[in-house]
A and B are shown apart, each in its own frame.
Chain A
């Protein structure tokens, strides 16, 4: 065998082993930055009460209330769970809360009417939708400043990032559409027409489908993310607000109906309607999909719904006017 070939073989082995090492490090990286296996606390924005209530999920008890100001509504948690990012539309601020020590760590102006908010899984950025300027601000929360802006449709509200971190989706409420944004370029690459006045938007764990709650048409739109096509519309209760995904089901908060609609995501049919408190709004699910948690704006409670029983199994008192618009568990 010529020397060159032996060398080539050694080179190939080296390449293969280094590729294996790379793959292993990527796997470690992914598991380190993806959602934690369990969640223990809910961070609930109380808009009327101008505060944030921390609820212990094990016993559904409020364990802290933190003064915020500016009528906080939107919320996102950092990928590591160490920080909660809140939007306060009236003071036009992003408020950074140190989740462990329960204190405001920083606050700074972002746009004219910050509302929807999402944290990127890996790049450290926080995306803030601006109701009045029709842009998404790309925020470096550590530096406390806006580093870029992305033009989208009218009155962007809910935001969600695909689990791979490549795409950002924005529910553009007054355009009746969803914007799909290339995160690397901070540019909108597609627009998908959905129902009327989409508010909350949620992407599944595989990053394949997105679900919008359409406030004015009382339905949920389902989008295929890769193709940017609408693949279904499901009628739900009156004034749907947001969606959470657990296993085979999508749970939708219906503000006026005071219910959750449970959609089978295979058949795209409502299979159950669960009575909850008055004006259910923000909704989030634990990583195992065992429980969803719902902030009931009028009744000032966070409710726990067991997804196996499809019934309310607990509630915690929170501050006045809880909205918890975003992903609020850690």
Chain B
């Protein structure tokens, strides 16, 4: 995933971010993982908006507002870039929260207008974590260069989700 981000970074450095436009087609990405652990145990790891230590691409998190609506966090990635995010909805009873990216350099993640939901559903000793997002590509006008295409955006987001979910499974199944 980090490799994909670095590639995207190299490609994106050449192009400005036209964030004010809204022309292209919104994209979606969903990734899931099954974990051999009860949902409560998984939620205890991922349910705190102010803790992303379970994601291997996140080096540091600084935030405010805790887990209340409109809480914010700034993720510093291992690659050096930052992503600023805001909590939109938090429903611990249903083990789900929704957030949006309020600021990101397309060199870090080639998306615009990104919102995402992370949730856990349990069945006995097993649980399924779903991470899904809606977003536009990094290049907001017609006829994007291939590096800033819809496909590039979807690939980058899926990479973030996959990397996080696989690491989460390993961490929880190893005993949290």
Contacts and interface: CB of A to CB of B under 8 A. Distances in A.
A71 B115 CA distance: 21
Interface string B1-42: 000000000000000000011111111100000000000000
A28 B24 CA distance: 44
A170 to B, nearest CB: 16
Contacts of B55: none
A108 interface: no
Interface in A74-93: 89-90
Contact of A321 (B23, B26, B88, B132): B26
B134 A89 contact: no
B22 A256 contact: no
B28 A298 contact: yes
Given A132-B142, A256-B98, A279-B134, A48 B23 contact: no
B89 interface: yes
Interface in B121-136: 132, 134
B25 A47 contact: yes
B25 A278 contact: no
A321 B115 contact: no
Interface string A105-139: 00000001100000000000000000110000000
A89 B23 contact: yes
Contacts of B28: 48, 297-298, 321
A256 B86 CA distance: 13
Given A256-B98, A256-B115, A278-B117, A131 B23 contact: yes
Contacts of B88: 238, 256
A89 B25 CA distance: 8
Given A89-B25, A131-B23, A298 B134 contact: yes
B100 interface: yes
B25 to A, nearest CB: 5
A111 B117 CA distance: 36
Nearest to B30: A298
Contacts of A89: 23, 25
Contacts of B132: 278, 298
Question: Which of A155, A173, A298, A321 has the most B CB atoms < 10 Å from its CB?
Answer: A298
Contacts of A256: 88, 98, 100, 115
B142 A112 contact: yes
A298 B23 CA distance: 19
A268 interface: no
Interface string A243-287: 000000000000011000000000000000000001100000000
A47 B23 contact: no
Contacts of A321: 25-26, 28
A277 to B, nearest CB: 12
A297 B22 contact: no
Contact of A71 (B20, B25, B100): B25
Contacts of A298: 28, 132, 134
A48 B27 contact: yes
Nearest to B89: A257
Contacts of A155: 21-22
B80 to A, nearest CB: 30
Given A256-B88, A256-B98, A48 B25 contact: yes
Interface string A154-179: 01000000000000000001100000
B23 A113 contact: yes
A30 to B, nearest CB: 38
Contact of A47 (B22, B26, B115, B117): B26
A90 B100 contact: no
A112 B24 CA distance: 12
A173 B98 CA distance: 26
A48 B21 CA distance: 19
Question: Which of B22, B27, B98 has the most A CB atoms < 10 Å from its CB?
Answer: B22
Contacts of A112: 142
Given A47-B25, A132-B142, A256-B115, 4 more contacts: A89-B23, A131-B23, A155-B21, A256-B100
A-B CB proximity, top 9 nearest: A71-B25, A113-B23, A131-B23, A47-B25, A256-B115, A256-B88, A298-B28, A279-B134, A298-B134
Interface of A: 47-48, 71, 73, 89-90, 112-113, 131-132, 155, 173-174, 238, 256-257, 278-279, 297-298, 321
20 contacts: A48-B27, A48-B28, A89-B23, A113-B23, A113-B142, A131-B23, A132-B23, A132-B142, A155-B21, A174-B20, A238-B88, A256-B88, A256-B98, A256-B100, A256-B115, A279-B134, A298-B28, A298-B132, A321-B25, A321-B28
